[in-house]
């Protein structure tokens, strides 16, 4: 156990930003932000370092049960599915086809992905994720193997599903039992008011099956104001000894700023969860919970292969679209040149990933030099707050420009930016402002590559204000998946057809 005097000495460090809560039975706020080693009960340090608390076999079982996007769980599931298909008499060709379709559909539909411990309690969560992949396997067997009857196809699909679900059930019996004995638990830091920290801590103690264990708490000062320097110092102090695996935020008042700091400055060391109102869970609005508390998972640690997969999809998708839309490119180029004899392309510096500036490409939809005229129309900007600049019936737009802007055809040259690696098909839209004009919250958008479309465009675009755009971009950065990208692209099409009026 750390001596009280030593802990007090650490607490008097001149950081002066917030308070912390230790592991004593009574939750007590402290006045300063110490390094983590200064306020964690040393008796827990002994347990963490002890043999058997988190054995390797249990880590393997958890990874397989959670269907993590790693070679191990994927290969194990494919072998199990193959055995089930062969057991019910599926032909070798059908078995190979079924395994291949399971692999592809499982990766596309999110059967294998990084999940947080409380997301995988029990088995029902897995059934919902498995259903689309199992359906795809059944369809592939029916179409791709003429030797299989309808009954045999149904039996093969059901046998494969039951085998995979049974494996999860067996794994969960082992994992749940181990967690109730204190094994395989991730250390959690809780951020919020003392009463809410105690509330969440009680849930962690009562429901160890959620896979988290209270390690410490942190209560910011009421006067706390988020800034880059303070944010880095707070997050660095709280995560200094790398013993915290997970951060649970109760977003009340200033706690929101701390949450944003963890999103921006934790550098993928931890994942973050947001505690939602109990009533939200009771109304069936959330899927993840710790006991009766609804929890929103924000996976900040990068998933294995996610960046590479997204890049492959971007390059292949953009290249195909460039080839498919080449006649459109030719027609639009001719129309712009014939319209006013000016250049067809418009180039402009934009802020991209990690704050890097790149040159964006667009079809020119305004008069030549329109960007230099922006100062003449500042008072007519329909966006009253934030960094966006939009005019209602912008007089700088040309006749051809009004047509191509109506359906965002002017954005198509950005497919070249996607191939180059400056942009992605889906992500926050890059803004035409200097990097230093973004505040701490807005800079979180730059943790991912900017996109040709994003949640902002798909859910309202001009009808949403700057703060709405930031909220949607933050939601994308903290919860992006391949499925979210596909859904965003599908939502963009009707959003282009049904334009909303500017705010």
- Asked if residue 360 is part of any domain, the answer here is yes
- Across the range 27-36, mean pLDDT stands at 39
The count of structural domains within the chain is 3
Segment holding 60, helix H or strand E: helix 56-65
In this predicted structure, the answer to whether residue 287 has a pLDDT above a threshold of 80 is: no
**Could you tell me if 11 and 131 lie in one domain?**
no
Residues 283 and 422 in one domain: no
Q: What is the CA radius of gyration of the chain?
A: 26
Q: What is the pLDDT of residues 48-86, one digit of tens each?
A: 433 446 788 999 999 999 998 889 999 999 999 999 999
Residues 6+ apart with CB under 8 A from 87: 159
Q: How many CA atoms lie within 13 A of 36 on its CB side?
A: 22
What pLDDT is attached to residue 33? 43
With a cut of 50, say whether residue 303 has pLDDT above it: yes
Q: Which has the closest alpha carbon to 77: 59, 92, 63?
A: 63
Check whether residue 356 and residue 469 sit in a common domain.
Answer: yes
Residues 176 and 283 in one domain: no
Q: Which of 298, 321, 350 is the last residue of a domain?
A: 298
**Sign, Cα dihedral of 66, 70, 72, 78:** positive
Q: Are residues 331 and 419 in the same domain?
A: yes
Asked if the model's pLDDT at residue 341 lies above 90, the reply is no
Same domain, 116 and 204: no
Cα dihedral value 422, 423, 424, 425, nearest 10? -130
- pLDDT, residue 55, reads 86
- Residue 443 counted as domain residue: yes
Same domain, 464 and 358: yes
- Position 335 scores a pLDDT of 93
Write the CATH number for 248: 3.40.50
Q: For residue 128, is it within any domain? A: yes
* Arithmetic mean of pLDDT over the chain: 79
Identify the pLDDT of residue 146: 81
pTM: 0.70
Q: Is the pLDDT of residue 92 over 80?
A: yes
Residue 241: pLDDT above 70? no
Among 298, 332, 358, the domain-final residue is 298
Residues 443 and 348 in one domain: yes
> What is the tens place of the pLDDT at every residue in 104-150?
999 878 899 888 999 999 999 999 899 999 999 999 999 988 888 88
Please name every residue paired with 397 in a beta bridge, in sequence order, or none if there are none: 366
Tell me the DSSP string of 152-211.
HHHHHHHHHHHHHHHHHHHHHHHHHHHHHTT-SPEEEEEES-HHHHHHHHHHHHH-GGGS
* 82 found inside a domain: yes
- Model pLDDT for residues 395-422, shown as the tens digit of each residue: 888 889 888 988 889 999 999 999 999 9
Q: How far apart, in Å, are the Cα atoms of 218 and each of 70, 187, 451, 471?
A: 33, 14, 35, 24
Asked if pLDDT for residue 2 goes beyond 50, the answer is no
Tokens for 427? Answer: 């992500």
Query: Tokens at residue 418, please?
Result: 């996607």
DSSP string, 16-58: -SEEEE-SSSS----SS---GGGTS-HHHHHHHHSTTSS-HHH
Range of the domain at 146: 56-180
Query: If DSSP codes are grouped into helix, strand and coil, which group holds residue 475?
Result: helix
User: 450 and 377 in one domain?
Assistant: yes
pLDDT in tens, 156-198: 999 999 999 999 999 999 999 999 999 999 999 888 888 888 8
Separation of alpha carbons 254 and 267, rounded Å: 21
What's the pLDDT score for residue 62?
94
Identify whether residues 286 and 228 lie together within a single domain: yes
d(CA 24, CA 195): 14
Asked, for residue 503, whether it belongs to a domain, the answer is no
CA distance 75 to 96: 14
Q: Decide: 336 and 344 in contact? Cβ < 8 Å.
A: yes
pLDDT at 319: 95
Same domain, 356 and 465: yes
Coil, strand, or helix at residue 293?
Answer: strand
Same domain, residue pair 105 and 218 = no
Question: Of the residues 271, 298, 325, which one is the last residue of a structural domain?
Answer: 298
């Amino acid at each position: 156990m750390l001596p009280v005097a030593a802990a007090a000495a650490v607490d008097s460090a001149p950081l002066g930003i917030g308070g912390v809560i230790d592991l004593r039975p009574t939750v007590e706020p402290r006045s300063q932000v110490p390094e983590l080693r200064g306020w964690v009960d040393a008796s827990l340090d002994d347990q963490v370092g002890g043999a058997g608390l988190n054995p390797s076999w249990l880590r393997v079982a958890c990874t397989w049960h959670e269907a993590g996007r790693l070679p191990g769980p994927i290969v194990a599931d494919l072998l199990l599915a193959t055995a089930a298909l062969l057991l019910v008499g599926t032909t070798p060709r059908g078995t190979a086809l079924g395994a291949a379709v399971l692999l592809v559909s499982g990766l596309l539909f999110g059967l294998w992905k990084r999940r947080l411990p409380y997301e995988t309690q029990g088995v029902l969560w897995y059934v919902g994720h498995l259903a689309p992949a199992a359906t795809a396997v059944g369809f592939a067997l029916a179409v791709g193997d003429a030797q299989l009857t309808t009954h045999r196809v149904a039996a093969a699909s059901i046998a494969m599903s039951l085998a995979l679900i049974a494996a999860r059930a067996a794994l969960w019996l082992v994992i749940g039992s181990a967690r109730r004995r204190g094994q395989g638990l991730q250390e959690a830091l809780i951020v919020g008011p003392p009463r809410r920290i105690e509330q969440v801590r009680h849930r962690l103690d009562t429901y160890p099956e959620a896979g988290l264990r209270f390690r410490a708490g942190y209560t910011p000062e009421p006067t706390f104001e988020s800034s880059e320097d303070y944010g880095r110092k707070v997050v660095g102090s709280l995560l200094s000894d790398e013993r915290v695996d997970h951060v649970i935020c109760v977003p009340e008042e200033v706690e929101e700023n701390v949450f944003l700091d963890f999103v921006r400055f934790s550098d993928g060391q931890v994942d973050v969860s947001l505690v939602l109102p109990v009533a939200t869970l009771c109304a069936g609005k959330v899927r993840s919970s710790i006991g009766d508390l609804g929890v929103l998972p924000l996976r900040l640690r990068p998933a294995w292969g996610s960046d590479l997969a997204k890049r492959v999809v971007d390059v292949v998708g953009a290249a195909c679209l460039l080839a498919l839309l080449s006649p459109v490119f030719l027609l639009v180029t001719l129309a712009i040149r014939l319209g006013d004899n000016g250049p067809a392309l418009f180039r402009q510096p934009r802020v991209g990933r990690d704050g890097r500036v790149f040159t964006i490409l667009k079809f020119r939809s305004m008069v030549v030099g329109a960007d230099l005229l922006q100062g003449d129309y500042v008072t007519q900007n329909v966006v009253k707050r934030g960094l966006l600049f939009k005019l209602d019936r912008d007089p700088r737009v040309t006749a051809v420009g009004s047509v191509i802007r109506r359906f965002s055809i002017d954005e198509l040259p950005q497919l070249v930016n996607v191939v180059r690696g400056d942009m992605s098909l889906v992500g926050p839209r890059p803004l035409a402002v200097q990097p230093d004009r973004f505040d701490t919250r807005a800079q979180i958008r730059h943790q991912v590559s900017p996109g040709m479309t994003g949640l902002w465009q798909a859910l309202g675009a001009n009808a949403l204000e700057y703060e709405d755009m930031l909220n949607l971009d933050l939601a994308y950065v903290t919860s992006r998946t391949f499925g979210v990208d596909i859904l965003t692209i599908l939502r963009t099409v009707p959003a282009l057809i049904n334009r909303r009026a500017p705010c």
